[in-house]
Chain A
């Protein structure tokens, strides 16, 4: 085995009563790509933040290149050749690429020489690693994939030999993620060491050489990637066997519940995002809409749930039209049996500063069950929240806890519990498991299939192809605002991938 780039020995870190890292030992070989997987809150990010000097370990030793290292600030880490690409980019949005790159690594008190040096250095990095980006572009005008590239360049500019990436693909489209992986392989070939933190097991299998699994603050296993399987890693992460593909019976599609006809939606710039889309949704089936993010799925969801104005077309819910002027009353749609789990739970689905019990009735707070005269019936609300917590295994099980303190997966369960427990006829779900742990994914999928089996109509939009394939009875593929194909649940990944890339569509057009 090659010499270790990093050794972590007996790392402990507590945040108050929370033991974020417990006696962690880890060795990462030079010139490899090492994955660290674990559920949200398993302590992956904390461990890497300790390595980057953002936090101090309570006890333990760090060795870099075989030498004991004391890393008290990010400066120390940078000096040791450790660079980090954070999950939320650490970029100044209205600065240029160059300004972001030299920030903190300026050569002297004036900027002139720093900028000149950075410009030529960027040129070199661009040639060496294929990291193309316009040095004078303003960050906020760049797509996220390029912003991430700037973060990588920042680390390389500071002479990073060890590059830590925290959930790098969470914000990327599949194409951007592929490009990122090509860059990472290139870095590895040049002898750099890459540490990849993620909870997406497919990525681990695709790109890493070795992988470590963390669970509840401890390091439970380290494996060579080619000698392990997704199933084994999932089991190690969750601590029990996990069904990656939920069992389900044949769908028994019944009456038509929702009819979308010739729907066209434009965004604020006037660009057509949904282009003449028609489909219907029946009771007792799950229809999945697949597509690369940004091909109009979000706008379609918003239009159907009455939030976004549609230019033309109609949507009929149980035979009656939905107001498409963008002024539909969401409360009225709920009364008519349409429940909506929005894609962006942080901004649309939850008020993070509220307590869990408040969020678990949000939008249904006018329901007489939760009222006592003009006042909220706190007892009823708490009982209801406890009931949902038990049923959906929401953790921690404290309805008085602020929603922001729940993990992403549990926040999603709060929203799902709220919408599903209203017993709607039609359920529309955007990205049901975005940012959700493996264990919770299984649970959410089971719930959605149970809804279907009760004879509800379920529409699922997801950018995760696996999810679409495992849930859907019918798959619609969206590309450039249009539905370019419909397939059964047995469609292959390759077939759907081609549709999602618009290949068949373009050929048909020619």
Chain B
């Protein structure tokens, strides 16, 4: 029996499934490293997905769709900033509120604009991001081992997939090699130190949230314009929360975040692949169990296998100048 091809297929869908997680996870990394908890990743992804698909379908342009996804997602991030930075509100409450507003408004606006039960019209070619076939991919397909890896795993993804993985080293570089990154990390640990060094805590945190908004916007666009040919209500399906779990799992480090998201993506891909397939020893496993598996493993991994995850020390605490 050929087991090589199924493995390649599972790995290929691992990459596709981990991209939205990875983008959301890095988005969360920017805001949490700056000391702002962001439980609203889910909501921002959702409005990004809706705005992207809606704009792409109206203007017949994938790029306009992506731009709109980022714009709306950043706008929601700024609302979170206004509540939690400027007005020192509770960050969890603000994040949850954003999730509710996102879930409700996308359906209402979708219904009002497109009358398709909250969906956006199916995207046509040119309105979605197409797969990029790398040079020689088809020719190399028949080469044993390396061929399928090149043709399936490396080639044949949309530009957003490559963008997501490129963001990993880029984020590392920003955090640890730039002035912005140094200040961002500092403000998440001890905002008073940043303030007394003569740097505006609020402006720094707003900039971090803008980074978050951009990335959740791209994540949303990926969901509705790459993975799916349009927006479907609640299509984020908890990915924002899984991304937060991955962020803790990764101890707020970009490269770890990539591996964590790939792991969660792999569990997801494996559960899809194994549905209805009889397994050795245990036999046929129910679909529901396989669907639950990634989440069960998430709980187990977070509970026992990551050691001590120390969050940025100032996380969740609004900055108030002490008297």
Q: Which of A219-241 contact B (CB under 8 A)?
A: none
| A90-B198 contact, Cβ under 8 Å, with A109-B179, A111-B182 | no
Interface pair B198/A106, CB less than 8 Å apart: no
Closest to B310 in A: A94
- Which listed segment binds A: B7-15, B135-143, B189-197, B238-246? B189-197
Bound-state Cα–Cα, A106 to B182, Å: 10
Of B180, B182, B192, which contacts A102 at CB under 8 A? B182
Interface pair B197/A91, CB less than 8 Å apart: no
Of B178, B194, B321, which contacts A104 at CB under 8 A? B194
Interface pair A105/B197, CB less than 8 Å apart: yes
Q: Which of A74-99 contact B (CB under 8 A)?
A: 74-75, 78, 84, 86, 88, 90-95, 99
Neighbouring A residues of B313 by C-beta, 8 Å = 93
Q: Which of A88, A90, A104, A108 has the most CB of B within 10 A?
A: A104
Interface pair A91/B193, CB less than 8 Å apart: yes
Q: Is B186 an interface residue (CB 8 A)?
A: yes
Bound-state Cα–Cα, A297 to B176, Å: 42
Interface pair B177/A103, CB less than 8 Å apart: no
| A114-B196 contact, Cβ under 8 Å, with A92-B189, A92-B190, A94-B189 | no
| A109-B178 contact, Cβ under 8 Å, with A54-B321, A94-B189 | yes
Interface residues on A, range: 20 to 34
Interface pair B196/A99, CB less than 8 Å apart: no
Interface pair A90/B185, CB less than 8 Å apart: no
Q: Which of B308-323 contact A (CB under 8 A)?
A: 313, 321, 323
Nearest Cβ distance between residue B185 and chain A, in whole angstroms?
7
Q: Is A15 an interface residue (CB 8 A)?
A: yes
Bound-state Cα–Cα, A245 to B200, Å: 48
Bound-state Cα–Cα, A86 to B190, Å: 14
Neighbouring A residues of B176 by C-beta, 8 Å = 111
Closest to A114 in B: B179
Interface pair B183/A103, CB less than 8 Å apart: yes
Neighbouring B residues of A94 by C-beta, 8 Å = 189
Bound-state Cα–Cα, A90 to B178, Å: 21
Closest to B321 in A: A54
Neighbouring A residues of B195 by C-beta, 8 Å = 54, 74
Interface pair A110/B179, CB less than 8 Å apart: yes
Of B179, B193, B198, B321, which contacts A92 at CB under 8 A? B193
Interface pair A103/B178, CB less than 8 Å apart: no
Q: Which of A45-69 contact B (CB under 8 A)?
A: 46, 52, 54
Bound-state Cα–Cα, A105 to B179, Å: 10
Interface residues on B, range: 20 to 34
Closest to B181 in A: A111
Interface pair B182/A99, CB less than 8 Å apart: yes
Nearest Cβ distance between residue A384 and chain B, in whole angstroms?
30
Closest to B177 in A: A111
Q: Please report the number of residue pairs spanning A and B whose Cβ atoms sit closer than 8 angstroms.
A: 69
Closest to A104 in B: B197
Neighbouring B residues of A202 by C-beta, 8 Å = none
Nearest Cβ distance between residue A199 and chain B, in whole angstroms?
18
Q: Which of A303-348 contact B (CB under 8 A)?
A: none
Q: Which of A86, A90, A114 has the most CB of B within 10 A?
A: A90
Q: Which of A460-503 contact B (CB under 8 A)?
A: none
Nearest Cβ distance between residue B20 and chain A, in whole angstroms?
30
Interface pair B196/A84, CB less than 8 Å apart: yes
Nearest Cβ distance between residue A472 and chain B, in whole angstroms?
37
Interface pair B178/A91, CB less than 8 Å apart: no
Nearest Cβ distance between residue B77 and chain A, in whole angstroms?
23
Q: Is B285 an interface residue (CB 8 A)?
A: no
Q: Is A391 an interface residue (CB 8 A)?
A: no
Bound-state Cα–Cα, A112 to B176, Å: 10
Bound-state Cα–Cα, A86 to B194, Å: 13
Nearest Cβ distance between residue A165 and chain B, in whole angstroms?
14
Q: Which of B148-181 contact A (CB under 8 A)?
A: 176-181
Bound-state Cα–Cα, A111 to B186, Å: 14
Neighbouring B residues of A93 by C-beta, 8 Å = 189-190, 313
Bound-state Cα–Cα, A105 to B192, Å: 16
Bound-state Cα–Cα, A108 to B182, Å: 12
Q: Is B132 an interface residue (CB 8 A)?
A: no
Interface pair A90/B193, CB less than 8 Å apart: yes
Nearest Cβ distance between residue A385 and chain B, in whole angstroms?
25
Q: Which of A92-131 contact B (CB under 8 A)?
A: 92-95, 99-100, 102-106, 108-112, 114
Closest to A74 in B: B198
Interface pair A78/B198, CB less than 8 Å apart: yes
Q: Is A190 an interface residue (CB 8 A)?
A: no
Q: Is B199 an interface residue (CB 8 A)?
A: yes
Bound-state Cα–Cα, A106 to B177, Å: 12
Interface pair A110/B197, CB less than 8 Å apart: no
Nearest Cβ distance between residue B196 and chain A, in whole angstroms?
4
Neighbouring B residues of A106 by C-beta, 8 Å = 179, 182
Interface pair A74/B197, CB less than 8 Å apart: yes
| A15-B177 contact, Cβ under 8 Å, with A84-B196, A91-B193, A105-B197 | no
Neighbouring A residues of B194 by C-beta, 8 Å = 103-104
Neighbouring A residues of B192 by C-beta, 8 Å = 88, 90
Bound-state Cα–Cα, A114 to B180, Å: 13
Neighbouring B residues of A110 by C-beta, 8 Å = 177-179
Closest to A88 in B: B192
Interface pair B189/A103, CB less than 8 Å apart: no
Neighbouring A residues of B183 by C-beta, 8 Å = 103-104
Neighbouring B residues of A95 by C-beta, 8 Å = 185-186, 189
Neighbouring A residues of B181 by C-beta, 8 Å = 111
Closest to B314 in A: A92
Nearest Cβ distance between residue B25 and chain A, in whole angstroms?
21
Interface pair A111/B179, CB less than 8 Å apart: yes
| A103-B321 contact, Cβ under 8 Å, with A95-B185, A109-B180, A112-B177 | no
Of all A-B residue pairs in the complex, the 6 with the closest CB atoms, nearest first, are A104-B197, A75-B198, A90-B193, A106-B179, A74-B198, A90-B196
Task: Give 11 A-B contacts (CB < 8 Å), ordered by A residue.
Answer: A74-B198, A78-B198, A88-B192, A90-B190, A90-B193, A92-B190, A94-B189, A99-B182, A103-B194, A110-B178, A111-B179
If A90-B196, A109-B180 are given as contacts, then 10 extra A-B residue pairs at C-beta distance below 8 Å, sorted by A number, are A54-B196, A54-B321, A95-B186, A103-B182, A103-B186, A103-B194, A103-B199, A104-B198, A110-B178, A111-B179
- Which residues of A are interface residues toward B (Cβ below 8 A)? 15, 46, 52, 54, 73-75, 78, 84, 86, 88, 90-95, 99-100, 102-106, 108-112, 114
- Which residues of B are interface residues toward A (Cβ below 8 A)? 176-183, 185-186, 189-190, 192-199, 313, 321, 323
